[in-house]
Chains A and B, each alone.
Chain A
C-alpha cells in the first residue's frame, strides 16, 4: 500500500515543478536538483507550502493522541501498583504480578471461556447471516420489494442498545411473546433471563436481529460490481442457480467477505460489551459474564484498577494478534487483505 501511494504521490510534484525548473532543450542538469525533484518535499518545504492543510490535521491528531494513544500508554498501570489519588501512572513496578493473579483465578477462566464461546458463536452464526440475506435480496426481481425489505431490516441498527435490551426483556419475560407461544403448546412459562442456559441463544438472536440488515449494505454494494456477462457466460455453460452463486457471485464478493471477516476476528474478544452488561444479572453470570463485563466490575466498581487493566491489556493483545494473523493468513491463502 505504501509503495503504491509513493508512486502516485510523485506524479504531481514532478509535473508541477518540471515546467518551471527544467525546460525542455537544455539547461545543464544538476543531478542533485534532479534527484530532489523526484523526492518528496522536505518537511520545511511541505509545511510552508501546505500549512493550511496541516491546520486541518492538528486537532484530529491531538484528539487521537489524547483519547486513543494516551490510554494505550496508560496500560502501564497493569505493571505498576495504582492507587486512586496516587501517582497517575502508578506508584511502583510490580512486574507481571497482576497477570499472574488473574491467570491463577478460576473465575477469570470461566469468564474467558464465556467470552470465547460467545465470540465464536457469533462469528460462526452472525458473520454469514448478512451474506445470505444479501444474496437473497439480490435475487429479488422487484426493486420496490427489495427496497422495502432493506428499509425494514436496517431499522434495528438505529436503535439504542438500551432499547434493544428493553425489547429483549419484554419479549422473554414471563408474560412476553415467547412464553405466550410456549403456552400454546401447553408449556409452563420460563423465566429466561434467570436461566444461564438461555443467555447465549438470547444474545445471539438479539444481536442477529439488530445487525443483520445493516451488515448487508457492503455486500450489496459489492454485488452490484459483478459483471452481468459472467452470469450469462455461466448460464451458457449450463450452470444452474446454485452453481452461478458458487462460481460467480461468491468469488465476486470474496474481497469484501475477507476484509469483513478479518475485522470481525479482530473484535472477537470484545463481544457486545454494552449489550451483555445491560442484559446480564448475577443469576446468569455463569454464561453471561464476559471479560469486559468482568473487568468493568473488578475495575470500576471495586476499584482494582491495575488488576482490571492487566485483563484489558491481555484482551487487546489477543485481538491484535488475531487481526494480524488473520490478515497474514488470508493474504497468503486468498490474496486479499486489509493491508
Chain B
C-alpha cells in the first residue's frame, strides 16, 4: 500500500513529462505561429472599423488624397453636425427605433410561445407543427410571390406592417429556443401544476423567469436583425419619411458610388464624400456598438445552450 501511494505521483509525473518532452519544440513553434496568425486575423478584422472611424473625423481633402488609414487627419466634427442637423436623418432614425421595438416584441411573442408549445412532448400534433416550421427553412415562396402577397394582397405598402411582420419568426431562433425549453426540468412544471397553476401560470411565472439568458439572446438577435434591415423598406416603402435609417445610408452610399437606381434628389447631391458616409455609418451602428460588449458573453452562451444538444 505504502509503496503504491508513493509510486503514484511518480507515474503521473513521468507520464506528463513524457508527453511534454515529446512535443516541446514543435508545440512551442506551433503556438507562436498560431498566435501570430490569430493576431493578424484580429488586425484584419478591426482594420475596416478603424478606417471608417478615422475617416469620420477627418477632413475630406485628406481622404480624397488617400492619406487616411487609422489615424484621423484634419480632425473636425463639422460633418457630425451636418448629418445630425438633417431632419430626414432623425426621422429615419426614429423610424428605425419604432420598427425595431415593434418588430422585436411581435417576433419574441410568437417565437417564445411557439417554441414552448413545441417543446411539450405530449402535445398532439407537435411533430406536424415542427415539420410545418422546418420545411420553410428549405423551401420558400421566393421574392416575387412574397412581394405580391405583401404589396398587393395584404395592401401593406407604406405601412409599418410590411417592415415588421414578414420576418416575424426566424425558424433558426425558434429551434434554438425549442431545444432550450426541451431541457427544462419537467418536475418544476409538474409541481407547479399540482399547486393549481394553469399552463399560462407555469409559462409566465415559472418558465419565462428562468429563461432570461435565452430570452435576452433572442431579443438581441431579433432587434439587431430589425435594426440592420433595409431590404423590406426598399421593396415596400416609397415615402422617404417612412424609411428606416439603413435606407438613408443605403441611398447615400448608392449616390456616392454612382451605382444604379439612385432616386429623387439624392442624384442632385453633387459629391457625397467618404467623410459624410463614414459619419452616417458610425451613427447608425452606434447603438449596436454600445450594447455589444455587455451582451457578448450572454448571447454566445445563449446560442450554445440551445444548439449543443440539437
Q: Is A177 in contact with chain B by the CB < 8 A criterion?
A: yes
Cα distance A179–B249 in the bound complex, in angstroms: 24
Tell me which of B1-9, B44-52, B72-80, B83-91 binds A.
B44-52
B285 and A160 contact, CB distance less than 8 A: yes
A46/B125 contact (C-beta < 8 A), A52-B198, A154-B296 known: yes
A54 at the interface (CB under 8 A from B): yes
Q: Are B143 and A308 in contact (CB under 8 A)?
A: yes
User: Does any Cβ of B come within 8 Å of A29's Cβ?
Assistant: no
Q: Does B210 contact A (CB under 8 A)?
A: no
Please tell me if the beta carbons of A280 and B259 are within 8 angstroms of each other in the complex.
yes
Contacting B145 at CB < 8 Å: which of A8, A41, A75, A266? A75
**Counting CB contacts under 8 A, is B98 at the interface?**
no
B129-151 interface bits toward A, Cβ cutoff 8 Å, 1 = contact, 0 = none: 10011001111111111111100
Contacting pair A77 B145 (CB below 8 A): yes
A71 CA to B147 CA, complexed, in Å: 9
Check A84–B152 contact: CB distance below 8 A: yes
* A56-B113, A163-B284, A213-B45 known; A295-B231 Cβ under 8 A: no
Q: Are B19 and A235 touching (Cβ within 8 A)?
A: yes
**Other-chain contact of B308, A8, A221, A277 (Cβ < 8 Å):** A221
Determine whether A292 belongs to the interface, using a CB cutoff of 8 Å to chain B. Answer: yes
Check A175 against B66 for contact (C-beta < 8 Å).
yes
Residues of A within 8 A of B152 (CB): 84, 88
Given A153-B45, A159-B228, A323-B138: A296 touches B38 (CB 8 Å cut-off): no
Residue of A nearest to B198 (CB): A52
A312 touches B121 (CB 8 A): no
Select one of B38, B129, B253 contacting A162, CB under 8 A. B253
Contact B26 A161 (CB under 8 A): no
A274 to B228 CA separation, bound complex (whole angstroms): 12
Q: Is the CB of B259 within 8 A of A281?
A: yes
Contacts of B139 in A (CB 8 A): 72, 316, 319-320
Across the interface, A74 reaches (CB within 8 A) one of B35, B145, B235, namely B145
| Interface: B188 (CB within 8 A) | no
Considering the chains assembled together, what is the distance between the CA atoms of A309 and B307 in angstroms? 35
Are A300 and B122 in touch, CB under 8 angstroms?
Answer: no
Q: Which residues of A contact B206 (CB under 8 A)?
A: none
Which one of B51, B129, B168, B300 contacts A67 once the chains associate, using CB atoms below 8 Å? Answer: B168
Pick from B23, B42, B122: contact of A152, CB below 8 A. B42
A185 contacts the other chain (CB 8 A): no
Q: A88-B153, A169-B253 are in contact. Are A71 and B142 (CB under 8 A)?
A: yes
Count of interface residues, chain B, beta-carbon cutoff 8 Å: 103
Question: What is the bound-complex CA distance between A75 and B142, given in angstroms?
Answer: 8
With A75-B145, A140-B35 known to touch, is A153 a contact of B127 (CB < 8 Å)?
Answer: no
Q: How far is the CB of B194 from chain A (nearest CB, A)?
A: 12
Answer whether A64 and B257 are a contact pair too, CB < 8 Å, given A241-B27, A309-B144. Answer: no
Docked complex Cα distance between A177 and B230 (Å)? 27
Answer yes or no: B191 CB below 8 A from chain A CBs: no
Residues of A221-253 whose CB lies within 8 A of B? 221-222, 225, 232, 235-236, 238, 240-241
A160–B284 contact, CB under 8 A? yes
Given A64-B133, A72-B139, A155-B45, A12-B65 contact (CB < 8 Å): no
Query: Which one of A19-27, A30-38, A119-127, A131-139 contacts B?
Result: A131-139
Q: Given that A167-B281, A171-B51, A241-B26 are contacting pairs, would A9 and B121 also be in contact in the complex, using a CB cutoff of 8 Å?
A: yes
Measured CB to CB, the closest approach of chain A to B195, in angstroms, equals 16
Complex Cα spacing A160 to B226, Å: 10
Kindly state the separation between the CA atoms of A16 and B286 in the bound complex, as whole angstroms. Answer: 54
Contact of B253 among A166, A171, A313 (CB under 8 A): A166
B184 at the interface (CB under 8 A from A): no
Does B246 contact A160, Cβ atoms closer than 8 Å?
A: yes
Q: Does A70 contact B (CB under 8 A)?
A: yes
Which of A26-83 touch B at CB < 8 Å? Answer: 40-41, 43, 46, 50, 52-54, 56-57, 59-61, 63-64, 66-75, 77, 82
- Check A63 against B169 for contact (C-beta < 8 Å): yes
Q: Name the one of A54, A155, A225 contacting B117, with C-beta atoms under 8 angstroms.
A: A54
Q: Which residue of A lies closest to B114 (CB)?
A: A60
Contact B147 A2 (CB under 8 A): no
Question: Does A312 lie within 8 Å of B122, measured CB to CB?
Answer: no
A309-B142 contact given A8-B121, A241-B23, A241-B30, CB 8 Å threshold: yes
A177 and B246 contacting across the interface, CB-CB below 8 Å: no
Query: What separation, in Å, do the CA atoms of A151 and B38 have in the docked complex?
Result: 13
Q: Which residues does chain B contribute within 8 Å of A41, judged by CB atoms?
A: 124
Q: Which one of B26, B141, B200, B284 contacts A72 once the chains associate, using CB atoms below 8 Å?
A: B141
Closest to B70 in A: A177
Q: Does B71 contact A (CB under 8 A)?
A: no
The 0/1 profile, CB within 8 Å of A marked 1, for residues 101-114 of chain B is: 00000000111011
User: Lowest 7 CB-CB distances: which A-B pairs, in order?
Assistant: A71-B141, A74-B145, A312-B142, A160-B228, A46-B124, A60-B114, A56-B113
B residues with a Cβ closer than 8 A to A are: 15, 19, 22-23, 26-27, 30-31, 34-35, 37-38, 41-42, 44-49, 51-52, 55, 63-66, 69, 109-111, 113-114, 116-117, 120-127, 129, 132-133, 136-149, 152-153, 165-166, 168-169, 198-200, 203, 224, 227-231, 235, 246, 249-250, 253-254, 256-261, 274, 277-278, 281, 284-285, 288, 292-293, 296, 300, 303-304, 307-308
- What are 26 residue pairs bridging A and B, where the CB atoms are less than 8 Å apart in the complex? A2-B127, A46-B125, A52-B198, A53-B117, A56-B117, A61-B114, A64-B132, A68-B136, A71-B141, A82-B148, A149-B42, A150-B300, A153-B42, A154-B296, A160-B249, A161-B228, A170-B51, A170-B52, A170-B55, A217-B300, A221-B308, A282-B260, A305-B148, A312-B144, A319-B138, A320-B138
